[in-house]
Amino acid sequence: GIQVEQSPPDLILQEGANSTLRCNFSDSVNNLQWFHQNPWGQLINLFYIPSGTKQNGRLSATTVATERYSLLYISSSQTTDSGVYFCANSRDRGSTLGRLYFGRGTQLTVWP
């Protein structure tokens, strides 16, 4: 299957700090997505970003498909940002979503 490597595995920040999470892929980037899993286990879709840059509030993501990596930026972090961040990719192109391959995640802890 597709290998998905995330770094760093753990990140501890003070509230207000900025951070960058990285995701590397062994295969071409098709349906790249970033998720946040909160402490209650809920997986929330943050971005669908097979290429380019998107921003949503304090979060933004950039995917460089030709180099098979994606970055998630968190600015002015808040305690509610704590949780595990996953990136995932699939082999499928176009409008059909199939199997997603997830990384092992980055555990983010933001202290007040």
Partner 1 sequence: GAGVSQSPRYKVAKRGQDVALRCDPISGHVSLFWYQQALGQGPEFLTYFQNEAQLDKSGLPSDRFFAERPEGSVSTLKIQRTQQEDSAVYLCASSLLTGVNYGYTFGSGTRLTIV
Instruction: State the minimum distance, in angstroms, from the CB of residue 62 to partner 1.
Output: 18
Find the binding residues for partner 1 in span 13-42 (CB under 8 A).
31, 33, 35, 40-42
88 contacts partner 1 (rule: CB under 8 A): yes
**Whole-number Cα distances in Å, 44 to 10, 33, 40, 109:** 19, 10, 11, 17
Tell me the C-alpha distance between 35 and 76, whole Å: 19
Alpha helices by DSSP H, 1-112: none
Instruction: State the minimum distance, in angstroms, from the CB of residue 97 to partner 1.
Output: 5
Instruction: State the minimum distance, in angstroms, from the CB of residue 90 to partner 1.
Output: 9
Q: Classify 94 in phi/psi space as left (phi over 0), alpha (psi -120 to 50) or beta.
A: left
101 contacts partner 1 (rule: CB under 8 A): yes
* Site residues for partner 1 per CB under 8 A: 4, 31, 33, 35, 40-45, 48, 86, 88, 95-105
